[in-house]
Structure 1
Amino acid sequence: MSDNNILACDIGLKRIGLASHIQGITLPLPPILRKNRDQAALALSQLLKDRAINILIVGMPESDEHKPHEMERRIKHFVSLVEFSGTIIYVNEALSSKIAQESLFELSKKERKEKIKNGELDSLSAMEILERYLSKQ
């Protein structure tokens, strides 16, 4: 696994949080701010190519066994728009945003609000999703 370049993403309707694991180090990356899905898919495709990523971890909400979560359909459609020939792995993202938000607890309310608005929280959530994947490897 050490020679794999891994990128995790937390796909939302406004932002895509990103985190990478390269040479044993996990770091949050600047998020992709979505104008539309084609622009966001192109930006993610380019990032995957530029960073020579070979494993893409995608956060997926838990769904009821009888009825898939609406975001599951949206996320899978978005991922189908991304140009990527590596491995795609879906990881349960349950509570990842809440855990990420708790990591900002020491900040002032204004600073927390800014990190939510600029997408840093989404990238911390992607980092949590990536850590879940890595802990099972």
Structure 2
Amino acid sequence: MKAKNFLALDVGEKRIGLAMADSQVRIAVPFGWVANDERAMKELAEIMLRHDISLVVVGYPRNQSGEPTQQTEFVVDFVRRLGQLDIDAEIAYQDESLTSVQAEQRLAGKIKDKGDIDAEAASIILQDYLEVHG
């Protein structure tokens, strides 16, 4: 059986953190970031095609009470636009509560730029998804 490739997105207003994993190894690794600008969808589509992505896992923001926020609306709109790309990949949400905090703690003292935190947060989102969905 062919391995499936997964891409996680930590969608922010300025940057989108990326992480990848496959269905055989099932370990999420940071994969950098792309600027969230007018080129973002094209860049994501190229990454998805180049790496034969079957599933995109997108961090779903909520507040401390578990309620949707203004950022949630931003992410849902982003995912709607992502879904309009002509790419054969499923899209799933994964709760991203506290992933940026965890990412900063993991990278303490090793942070080169904010994109590193976004990529690390994406890897936490993807690892959480892989653990929940066996």
Per the TM superposition, whether the score is higher than 0.5 is yes
Contact 1:97 1:125 in 2 (8 A): yes
Amino acid at match of 1:70: Q
Task: Write the distance in 2 (CA, Å) between the matches of 1:46 and 1:17.
Answer: 15
**Retained in 1: the 8 A contact 2:28–2:124?**
no
What secondary structure, in the 3-state scheme, does the structure 2 residue paired with 1:6 have? strand
Q: Equivalents in 1 of 2:61, 2:42: separation in Å?
A: 23
**1:16 alignment partner, SS class:** strand
Q: SS at the partner of 2:104?
A: helix
Q: How does 1:1-137 map to 2 (within 5 A)?
A: 3-22=3-22, 23-24=24-25, 25-34=27-36, 36=37, 38-62=38-62, 68-82=68-82, 83=85, 84-105=87-108, 107=109, 112=111, 114-116=112-114, 119-136=115-132, 137=134
Indicate conservation of the 8 Å contact 1:41/1:79, yes or no.
Answer: no
- Which string of whole-angstrom CA distances, capped at 9 and with x for unpartnered residues, describes residues 79-120 of structure 1? 222213321110000000000000122x2xxx53x322xx01
Identify unmatched segments of 5+ residues in structure 2. none
Identity score, percent: 30
CA RMSD of aligned residues (A): 2.0
Letter of the 1:122 partner, please give it: D
4+ runs deviating over 2 angstroms: none
